[in-house]
Chain A
């Protein structure tokens, strides 16, 4: 398969940035989208090192920087906006699990970073998502000391409840929800953590503080408000639903009333 890749290039946080278009050919349909970027980078490195091409006026911006790591859909590092959608056209996957058979041969594919006020661009397609760490540091934990836990089977949790908690805990922290939301809200991300813990009996004594602090931190870091457009759940690669946002709202309200 052959493609034209229209890719956002930006040298650093201060650079204005622009699109460049490249052609890649001979792509296997079982190749993943990130493998196509690997192939493109091979090509760009070759061209950049080729004195003949340089003499002809080839001004290579060098290989394209992009975040990626596990390449099996679980680390949440990859963060590409492809043809206007977070993680591209396939449903329920991160970019590393997006395969080229989902594209039309010969297509022009537009690739941008996740854009949001709270995720400044570092270079090309790489963004800074440390804001997510900061939200979790504000309360996304249960304060149990190492070694002070009781026997695990002393805490009984009904099967369905554990499963629902797991549904929310499946969040990979990629930021697709934020990049998709027109307000740049991190509500689905915050909800995933709060809801996962709220469904469990552990950690209840600090539940009110958790919800209050995490929401306050989210606001402080420049994420927008939730206006219930539900775009986030459509693009979440792990299928986390807005039902968890409803649970976060309940936790938050309870916290407010308990003040």
Chain B
């Protein structure tokens, strides 16, 4: 079956690959487009921009979202910015440099051709968004402003205060609304995809639950696009939204789509630390804060102890007694090292006993130097809303005392395996944005998620999908009375019935928290063989316990949030297990995946290029069976593979 993993990367020089592929891709005549139906699941940056662009081309699009409005998708919460190789700052940025930084940041585990294309279309994304009326930050002369993010030495990040994701999503949502008004896109809010329908090996539709009436409904189409984001909520506590889930991805996986690099999850270094047992989610403090904030812990253990007992304040510790450990360890990049590096460095200091909050799991992010250097006004303009947010949550003002931060699960680089055209191993099924695996390798750089979501949705999928559809216009869209629809709906119904039949006493959230604890402990920031094996065992035990003890109150045919959560948790068990299996097999460290057995003497990641320079694509083999590993070798033809170095 390995022949399914054909990446379809065009031949030729790197800079010409996308142009070449575009010239080969078949087209659909405008009159035939309206005969073709496309289902898009998810309304974040990827889904909204794809649906809007496809609708604009004249296809019939149905778009589904689990919230009450497409605008709630979690892209809305991205704070810091979006990268683009515009070189507006004249700091010698270029498409090549953005490509290079992204490959290096991903620790040489992403596809050269995909990443280069991403960098190529980054500029037009900014043009598009500005034309839509996205109010990016401006300099006094009226030109666009930029800032820096981790892992790079140029300023290429465009931003709209600390609400860049919100503004970009509102732009894509507006484009979507325009198509809804034009009648090319039909919007289905409060609908949740519960399975993929495959007929003759091709994706032909979905089964979705109307979340208000509770009814299962069938939707047929000529192609299906998954844009449902990442699966980091397997850890329960994360910076994801509460509704974010990996269920659509898992449904596709069970129907035959391979899953790429599931163990690559990003742990973001600057989140507000966990405060207690009753917490439901973690809040990110934008990476942009590391432009001006300095990260430190005390040098002296006695200061740590006094801080924990609240006998002294951070601001009372003199300069010479502070350990700016990122500046110390990584002089070239300082506080702007990539996320995985910054997260592990924080963990290292906390494990060594220098964590500064009561439970010893926090470090400082200090703005006192920036306030002195830039003045309060400038700092207010740059980070005002983030400071307010921090104050609202913690009741401590970053104007007076440094913020306390700690790493948290934030993004998943892994996802559904796709070829260069963003098509999965199931013909007619595409995956875009965070839902696919393709562009970020072992670690995503800051401000690149927004870039990828919009690249896929505005500029790549609307070009590649027609190639598949080009010979489909004479076929009527799938008949929802076909036996495959019948059968798939039956299976979904059986899953729901089984959940209600358990009739246990333990709430879904309680079990989800237990899964989260297992994931964080055994498949977290650092991993080892024994731990991963133990983790897999515990996940399986917990899944068995779930099926005997879960309580799903109410009935199917009503608005039932407990049922929604239970269905998602069933899939999180499978994702968690798959992440651990993948992490166990990848005996090297790379990017966010840190295997304790594979590190340098000074505690940095040690890759094993000889044995692991490939994409791990997992094939589902049935319930209770081990998945099968397929390898897509990563062939670096244009870039010199090197050890990632942020020290000099």
Contacts and interface: CB of A to CB of B under 8 A. Distances in A.
B71 A146 contact: no
B177 interface: yes
Contacts of A88: none
Contacts of A75: 67, 71-72, 74, 76-77, 241
A148 B131 CA distance: 9
Contacts of B136: 152, 162
A77 B74 CA distance: 11
> On chain A, which size bracket covers the interface?
35 or more
Contacts of A169: 135, 160, 167, 170
> On chain B, which size bracket covers the interface?
35 or more
Interface string B40-84: 000000000100110010000000000111111010110000000
A165 interface: yes
A144 B128 contact: yes
A229 B307 CA distance: 49
Interface string A209-244: 000000000000000000000000000000000000
A92 B391 CA distance: 12
Nearest to B84: A152
B507 A45 contact: yes
B279 interface: yes
Nearest to B134: A169
Interface string B153-180: 0000000110100110010011101101
23 contacts: A30-B395, A38-B509, A45-B551, A46-B507, A49-B504, A49-B505, A50-B505, A68-B242, A70-B74, A122-B559, A129-B68, A137-B178, A140-B174, A142-B133, A146-B52, A146-B56, A146-B462, A148-B131, A152-B136, A162-B136, A165-B135, A166-B163, A196-B133
A130 B553 contact: no
B143 interface: yes
B166 A166 contact: no
A82 to B, nearest CB: 16
Contact of A158 (B49, B142, B181): B142
Interface stretch (A93-101, A105-113, A249-257): A93-101
B417 interface: no
Contacts of B56: 145-146
Interface of A: 11-12, 27-28, 30-32, 34-35, 38-39, 41-42, 45-46, 48-50, 60, 62-63, 65, 67-77, 90, 92-93, 97, 99, 101, 122-123, 126, 128-130, 132-133, 136-153, 155-159, 161-163, 165-166, 169-170, 172-173, 196-197, 200, 202-203
A99 B177 contact: no
A130 B67 CA distance: 11
B174 A142 contact: yes
Given A42-B509, A122-B212, A129-B68, A200 B392 contact: no
Contact of A76 (B72, B138, B242, B558): B72
Contact of A173 (B71, B124, B181): B71
A67 B581 CA distance: 35
A138 B394 CA distance: 41
B127 interface: yes
A137 B212 contact: no
B242 A35 contact: no
B357 to A, nearest CB: 12
B175 A133 contact: no
Contacts of B212: 122
Contacts of B393: 30, 97, 99
B507 A166 contact: no
Given A38-B509, A71-B241, A149 B561 contact: no
B538 interface: no
Interface stretch (B24-32, B280-288, B474-482, B626-634): B280-288
B395 A76 contact: no
B366 to A, nearest CB: 22
Contacts of A144: 128, 131-132, 175
A52 to B, nearest CB: 11
A69 B242 contact: yes
B458 interface: yes
Contacts of B126: 152
Given A32-B280, A69-B243, A71-B280, A141 B67 contact: no
Nearest to A64: B561
Nearest to B53: A146
A146 B463 CA distance: 12
B135 A162 contact: yes
A63 B563 CA distance: 11
Nearest to A139: B181
Given A153-B144, A173-B69, 9 more contacts: A11-B558, A28-B276, A30-B394, A45-B562, A70-B242, A133-B70, A137-B178, A145-B56, A165-B135
